[in-house]
Amino acid sequence: MDYIKIRFGDDSDPFSSRFEQTVEEMFRSLNPRFTLCERAWNPPMDICETPDDIIIRAEIAGVDKEDLGVEINRKAVRIYGHRRAMTRLENSTYRLAEIQYGQFERVLFLPAPIDTEIVSSAYSNGFLEIRLGKLKLDEVHRIPISDE
């Protein structure tokens, strides 16, 4: 199986964003509630393509189905939602706090146009799977000619 790395977003200043992440991670290790700003998290996703379908899998464990949304058009898919924070344990010191909470949104541009009428989705064991039927562009449609 071949994997293709896909980057979304603008990395015009990678030093600045990496520095900001490092500072935030450093302070968050001291206090898990520390954040520089309200930030969206990006759940990991896979996109694979078959001759007939495009399949998207998103790892979004802990997100209630009611807090999840999917929107599609022929060229892109928008997956968004909210993961609620778990209750912090009283009288405890967190030594590691990596689980991300809050809003998330991903817009994925598709490798081929899809038929928005041929779509299915399922959410199980923390994974969202969306199957999108490709638009049949190579089909030939015969058009009858009338006598007028």
Phi, psi of 134 (to 5 degrees): -70, 150
Instruction: Return the pLDDT at 143.
Output: 84
**What are the pLDDT digits (tens) for 50-86?**
999 999 999 999 999 999 999 999 999 999 999 998 8
SS3 54: strand
**Around Cβ 25, how many Cβ atoms within 10 Å?**
12
Tell me, what's the pLDDT at 6? 43
Q: Are 30 and 97 in contact (CB under 8 A)?
A: no
Q: What is the C-alpha to C-alpha distance for residues 45 and 56, in angstroms, rounded to an integer?
A: 7
Structure tokens at 115: 């038929």
Q: Each residue of 12-55: pLDDT tens digit?
A: 545 555 665 666 566 555 555 554 444 578 899 999 999 999 99
Residues 6+ apart with CB under 8 A from 110: 47, 54, 75, 76, 77, 132
